Amino acid sequence: MIADRRATLPMHARRVLAYLSLQKLARPDCDRGQLAERLWPDSSAERSRASLRTALWRIRCADPEVVAVDCERVSIADDVAVDVHRFRTIAEQILAARTPDDFPVAPAGLPSVTDLLPGWDEDWLLLVREQLRMLRLHALEHGAAVLTAHGRHPQAIDLILQVVDEEPLRESAQAVLINTHLELGNVADARRQFDDYVALLWSQLRLRPSPQLVAVLDTTR
């Protein structure tokens, strides 16, 4: 959307916008030559730079303020709103929270990033998807641990179950869930969760749980 109107751009221009938007999570701008090479790796340097020039021209025709361009560097403009940037800000605020009142939004509302640019299989996009997915899992885990520490056990269980459902072999998430059951006094539920995890871990990876996780349950014997 540009000034509340939908802008239609060709695919090569959309790829440039997507790359610049996502790469701004790590760095403010990109070298033009590197950007051209990254987005058109099968073309010659001259041809890839020409493709980049055309894409930038199409973007600037739609709105000259969307990208900042000079002879060496190109970047998405600072005042362009990018959903992924807001997602990262919220996730980082959840990770920094020490009480539920510190949450910028309910952690359960942190969206999944598996549908980020669906149908695209760019190598650079696969890496960003995985980075954001891991950030979300860490934020949900931390949010559940904070809720547990402040006695909000049902909300904590609902939250951590999202992580366990997505990554059942993730021991840190299993530990939060087991600890929450124990905080509620539900030793049987904690033991059942632990036993199910041990069985799954062995069947899938032929691994045993860490001594730290085993020690959590040992206190209940």
Tens-place pLDDT, residues 125-182: 888 899 999 999 999 999 999 999 999 999 999 999 999 999 999 999 999 999 999 9
Split at pLDDT 50, 70, 90, the class of 35 is very high
Contact (Cβ atoms closer than 8 angstroms) between residue 16 and residue 56? yes
CATH number, domain with residue 120: 1.25.40.10
> What is the total count of domains within the chain?
2
pLDDT over threshold 80, residue 46: yes
90 & 144 share domain: yes
Q: What are residue 75's DSSP bridge partners?
A: 68
Mean pLDDT is lowest, of 2-6, 72-76, 137-141, 172-176, for: 2-6
Computed from CA positions of residues 207, 211, 217, 220, in that sequence, does the dihedral angle turn out positive or negative? positive
146 & 96 share domain: yes
Q: Does residue 96 or residue 27 have the better pLDDT?
A: 96
At 5, give phi and psi (nearest 5°): -125, 145
137 falls within a domain: yes
pLDDT at 118: 86
88 & 154 share domain: yes
What is the percent of the chain with per-residue pLDDT over 90, rounded to a whole number?
A: 73
137 & 67 share domain: no
67 & 87 share domain: no
Among 76, 111, 126, the domain boundary falls at 76
Antiparallel, parallel or unpaired: β 30-31 and 73-76: antiparallel
Among 76, 104, 121, the domain boundary falls at 76
pLDDT at 220: 58
Q: Does residue 110 or residue 141 have the better pLDDT?
A: 141
15 & 63 share domain: yes
72 & 87 share domain: no
60 & 90 share domain: no
169 & 206 share domain: yes
5 falls within a domain: no
67 & 133 share domain: no
pLDDT over threshold 60, residue 221: no
Split at pLDDT 50, 70, 90, the class of 218 is confident
Mean pLDDT, residues 41-70 taken together: 93
3 falls within a domain: no
* Structural domain harbouring 60: 11-76
How many CA within 13 A on the CB side of residue 120? 20
pLDDT over threshold 50, residue 1: no
Q: Which two tokens stand for residue 44?
A: 């010659």
102 & 188 share domain: yes
110 & 22 share domain: no
